């Protein structure tokens, strides 16, 4: 494909993302399947252009690509006009209005700013570092992290197996069971080690959130919003397959997807579809040693993977999520026994979903005391560096905010509580 043809492809993909609201990675995959003539270099170039446009605000494909060429590539209007020639597979020629807009950009105007309500939330979370945190959140490629299934292998053995298959890896700095690679996660699913359950793809931040729950063998542990089951599997590893592990979700299809993952990992769990008010868990009220609430959230902590979502989130949607988070955390807390631990987790960097929820919960539930993160971090599942970093980020308190800039992980938030009465 010529450079101009790649721009036409990027415009097509961006238009599909804007009209369908599908995740960018799915639209790109579908485009690649439908255009098999495109080589790996072409697909990578198209994807890079699409993600660059999405990080700058997205929008309709042609307008977004033009802005990207001016802002990021710093091409002059005449150079852009040469690419938009309308010949062959090149985009149609520039209109007079488009040419005028390119001249107005001056070859390097800053990308579009995040919506004001999001900028406010980031300021509350990160203070003076908000701009730098936002830039890290919307730039660069996220690494692929694996969680080694310690019940079946160890990190060094798995790393050696991966190397034999042509995949170089490095230990993650904070999770003692993490390996980091610079490959597509899809390529790993074909490996025998994956099929044998020796590892799962899981961001290191997600692993850290799982480890802070502090599940122990023989306990009763509830993953209240199990979703795809990534943390369920990590918790099962901590429990060494012993005890009662209960994974809950409103969506039965999500629970169905967990079963083969459990089988592959050599684990068992009681999979329960809960009702909208948390029913079907009455037998667990006041009995659980550990409860993890990985609450529905904006997913803002994953915007480096899906930058298009930064421009789709509305303030009304955020308010709706906050209401849900309060309700879910309240219902899940009823399951914790005296002396048990409750972990509230989101993959978000927005204060309204994180510190605000933790503060409201503490005020409304005097029977729960904040559990300092350094105390929870005293687990062999974390490296020494991981324990030190969590102590720094929490400042000795019970909440921790991870982020691409702070920890090179997705933006997970963790708040820890222990039931006292």
State pLDDT tens for residues 147-166: 999 999 999 999 999 999 99
The contacts of residue 336 (CB under 8 Å, 6+ apart) are 286, 288, 291, 342, 368, 419
Average pLDDT over residues 297-307: 95
List phi, psi (to 5°) of 81: -60, -35
For the chain, give every domain's residue range: 3-105, 144-201, 204-419
Which two three-digit tokens encode residue 208?
């850290």
Gap between the Cα atoms of 344 and 333, Å rounded: 10
The arithmetic mean of pLDDT across residues 180-202, rounded, is: 91
Predicted local confidence at residue 107, as pLDDT: 47
Q: Which fold has domain 204-419?
A: Rossmann fold (3.40.50)
Q: Map tokens 């690419």 to a residue.
A: 83
The total of other beta-carbon atoms located within 10 Å of residue 8's CB is: 22
Tell me whether residue 225 is one of the annotated catalytic residues. Answer: no
Q: Please state the rounded mean pLDDT for residues 5-20.
A: 95
Tokens of 183: 């490959």
Contact (Cβ atoms closer than 8 angstroms) between residue 249 and residue 225:
yes
Catalytic annotation, pick one of 53, 248, 297, 347: 347
Entry pTM: 0.91
pLDDT tens string 53-109: 999 888 899 999 999 999 889 999 999 999 999 999 999 999 998 988 888 776 455
**What is the pLDDT at residue 139?**
80
Mean pLDDT of 249-262: 94
Whether the pLDDT of residue 13 is over 80: the answer is yes
**Among 103, 186, 102, 197, which residue's Cα sits nearest to residue 152?**
197
Cα separation values, 319 from 297, 328, 352, 354, 399, Å:
10, 14, 8, 13, 21
**DSSP 3-state assignment of 301?**
helix
How high is the mean pLDDT of the chain? 94
Q: Tell me, what's the pLDDT at 50?
A: 95
398 and 417 Cβ atoms separated by less than 8 Å: yes
Cβ atoms of 295 and 345 within 8 Å: the answer is yes
pLDDT at 112: 64
Return d(Cα 323, Cα 259) in angstroms, integer: 30
Q: What is the 3-state secondary structure (H, E, C) of 115-144?
A: CHHHHHHHHHHHHHHHHHHHHHHCCCCCCE
CA–CA distance from 353 to each of 118, 335, 366, 415, 419 (Å)? 12, 22, 20, 11, 22
Over residues 306-317, mean pLDDT: 94
Q: Return the higher-pLDDT residue of 183 and 235.
A: 235
Residue environment code for 217-255, b if the CB has 16+ CB neighbours within 10 A, otherwise e: eebbbbbbbbbebbbbbbbbbbbeeebbbbbbbeeeebb
Digit-coded pLDDT (tens) for 93-139? 999 989 888 887 764 555 567 899 999 999 999 999 999 999 899 88
Cα–Cα distance between 21 and 313 in angstroms, integer?
Answer: 11
Fold of the domain built from segment(s) 144-201: Alpha-Beta Plaits (3.30.70)
Write out pLDDT tens, residues 383-392.
999 999 999 9
């Amino acid at each position: 494909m010529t450079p101009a043809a790649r721009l036409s492809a990027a415009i097509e993909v961006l238009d599909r993302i804007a009209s369908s609201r599908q995740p960018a990675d799915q639209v790109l995959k579908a485009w690649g399947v439908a255009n098999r003539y495109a080589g790996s270099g072409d697909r990578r170039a198209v994807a890079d252009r699409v993600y660059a446009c999405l990080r700058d605000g997205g929008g309709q494909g042609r307008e977004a690509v033009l802005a990207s060429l001016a802002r990021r590539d710093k091409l002059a209007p005449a150079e852009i006009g040469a690419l938009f020639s309308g010949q062959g597979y090149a985009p149609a020629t520039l209109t007079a209005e488009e040419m005028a807009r390119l001249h107005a950009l001056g070859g390097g105007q800053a990308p579009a700013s995040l919506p004001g309500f999001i900028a406010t939330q980031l300021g509350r979370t990160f203070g003076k570092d908000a701009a730098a945190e936002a830039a890290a959140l919307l730039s660069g490629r996220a690494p692929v992290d694996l969680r080694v299934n310690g019940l079946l292998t160890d990190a060094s053995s798995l790393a050696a197996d991966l190397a034999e298959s042509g995949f170089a890896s490095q230990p993650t700095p904070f999770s003692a069971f993490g390996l980091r690679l610079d490959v597509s996660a899809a390529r790993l699913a074909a490996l025998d080690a994956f099929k044998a359950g020796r590892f799962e793809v899981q961001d290191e931040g997600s692993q850290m959130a799982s480890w802070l729950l502090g599940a122990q063998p023989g306990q009763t542990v509830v993953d209240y919003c199990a979703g795809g089951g990534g943390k369920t599997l990590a918790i099962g590893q901590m429990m060494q397959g012993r005890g009662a592990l209960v994974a809950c979700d409103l969506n039965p299809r999500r629970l169905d997807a967990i079963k083969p993952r459990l089988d592959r990992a050599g684990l068992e769990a009681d999979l329960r579809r809960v009702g909208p008010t948390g029913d079907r868990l009455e037998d667990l009220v006041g009995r659980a040693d550990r409860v993890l609430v990985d609450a529905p959230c904006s997913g803002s902590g994953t915007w480096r993977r899906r930058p298009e979502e930064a421009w789709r989130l509305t303030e009304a949607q955020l308010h709706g999520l906050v209401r849900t988070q309060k309700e879910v955390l309240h219902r899940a807390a009823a399951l914790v026994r005296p002396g048990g631990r409750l972990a509230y987790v989101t993959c978000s960097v927005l204060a309204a979903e994180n510190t605000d929820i933790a503060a409201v919960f503490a005020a409304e539930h005097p029977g729960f005391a904040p559990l300092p993160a350094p105390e929870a971090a005293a687990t062999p599942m974390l490296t020494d560096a991981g324990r030190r970093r969590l102590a720094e980020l929490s400042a000795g308190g019970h909440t921790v905010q991870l982020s691409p800039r702070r920890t090179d992980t997705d933006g997970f938030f963790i708040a820890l509580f222990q039931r006292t009465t």
